[in-house]
Homo-oligomer: A and B are copies of this chain.
Amino acid sequence: MTKSEKYALGVDIGGTNIKIGIVSDSGKLIKSLSVKTQAEGGPKKVISNICKGIDEILEKNKLKIQGIGVGCPGVVQIKKGIVENAPNLPGWKNVKLGPILKNRYGYKIHIENDANAAAIGELIFGAGKKFDSFVMVTLGTGVGGGIVFNKKIFRGEYGAAGEIGHISIDINGPKCNCGSTGCIEAYVGNSYLREIVRGELPDHPDSKIWELIENDLSKVSPKIIQLAAEKKDAYAKFVIERMGKQLGAAMASLSNLLDISTFIIGGGVAGFGKPLFDSIRKTIAARVLLPLRQRVLVIPAKLKNEAGIKGASSLVFYNN
């Protein structure tokens, strides 16, 4: 830790927990803590919890903080620091989170949609440092995305761009919660994936997944699928390879449209590792237009478990 280092405070608002930490401009996590979100208590309760956490982390802090970065689910008006809406946080409509925090702490506040914050985190601290343009794909409960073009987030007209999870790969595909069909999220989003595997397992009585879940279908999870694949279970390997094909198809459409061919993949499901990545790569290369074929690059995110806090903190060091 050299004297010239700068520090940011990052707040990652999740549906269950809020993670708060101090991160250096070289991307080192100095300290962190987690508080319950208590989303059901509405914006007031959540903001009170955020402040409790910030107060605690600032107590006894001697590092000079440059600002506070906040990663938040939903649509954010970044200039005003207003959370327009956040589907997973009940009651959040046009919440002036930025002004409230600014008023209380005096620091400059940077609020950003969490998927964009994850992309900026990789851009500033992670696997995206050496690229001008890439697409960040976060494979979790949903499939999140952030488009980085010439070192900047591409936001679209109203700040909602990057919804990679809702590229449809099959006009007649399965129903997605968004109302459309065949969205990539409806195949590889955690809860969809669980449902699909639960439905298919009875046709694979020899799968090692049965043993791992102790014959209890409610225990099916991405982690279990990964474990089974590592034990060379044919069905688990098939599931992962199929996910790669589905993701690859969506990414190929995206590359053709945007002429961006570097993809950084993070989130829990990225833990499937090489079999997933190889399947994605092979599929994109087979589907993308000829001039793009040589350029396709699919690499894992670097920030892993600290992606939330580091993404939020990175907003302070990001030259918007």
Contacts and interface: CB of A to CB of B under 8 A. Distances in A.
Contact of A246 (B171, B178, B179, B252): B171
Given A170-B171, A170-B172, A179-B287, A160 B253 contact: no
A245 interface: yes
Contacts of A178: 289-290
A229 to B, nearest CB: 22
Interface string A278-311: 0000000011111110010000000000000000
A173 to B, nearest CB: 8
A75 B133 CA distance: 19
Nearest to A134: B157
Contacts of A290: 178-179
Contact of A164 (B157, B168, B249, B257): B257
Interface string A184-222: 000000000000000000000000000000000000000
A222 to B, nearest CB: 21
Contacts of A161: 257-260
B287 A180 contact: yes
B249 A157 contact: no
Nearest to A164: B257
A145 B167 CA distance: 17
A169 to B, nearest CB: 5
A164 to B, nearest CB: 6
A17 interface: no
Nearest to A160: B259
Nearest to A283: B171
Given A75-B291, A167-B256, A289-B166, A133 B160 contact: no
Contacts of A170: 169-172, 182
Contacts of A180: 252, 286-288
Nearest to A145: B257
A241 to B, nearest CB: 14
A261 interface: yes
Interface in A133-150: 133, 145, 147, 149
Interface in A222-267: 245-246, 249, 252-254, 256-261
A291 B253 contact: no
B172 A257 contact: no
Contacts of A168: 169, 249, 252-253, 287
Which are the 5 A-B pairs with shortest beta-carbon distances? A156-B259, A161-B259, A180-B287, A166-B256, A163-B256
Given A168-B253, A180-B288, A257-B257, 4 more contacts: A132-B157, A170-B172, A254-B257, A257-B258
